[in-house]
Amino acid sequence: MKTQEEIATEWRKKGFSCGLWTDPPGQRWENFVHSVDELVIVVDGEVEFEINSQVYHPAPGEELFIPANVLHSVRNIGNTTARWLYGYKG
């Protein structure tokens, strides 16, 4: 998997920020809508993303795109702390 710095560089070229989010086991972020596009990549852990009623279980390093103004949720479904990168278009 690429490093956070490598991903941040790629995302900046696409006009996205890049930050690291850490969630304890069982953490749930339900029913969010952002006014800008978002990119996410799981670094480690088992994270479930629900985007516009479609459920995804990305492997570490797999990038997901969340369009602006689309309902989405994020859930740590594993038994360990999960870390994932997120970036907003801007």
Quote the domain boundaries for residue 9. Answer: 4-88
Low-confidence ranges of the chain (pLDDT < 70): none
Per-residue model confidence (pLDDT) at position 10: 98
Per-residue model confidence (pLDDT) at position 47: 98
Per-residue model confidence (pLDDT) at position 1: 86
Count of domains forming the chain: 1
Per-residue model confidence (pLDDT) at position 84: 98
Per-residue model confidence (pLDDT) at position 82: 98
pTM above 0.75, yes or no: yes
Find the CATH number of the domain harbouring 63. 2.60.120.10
pLDDT digits (tens, 9 = 90+) for 56-81: 999 999 999 999 999 999 999 999 99
Provide the token pair at 82.
């999960």
Per-residue model confidence (pLDDT) at position 63: 97
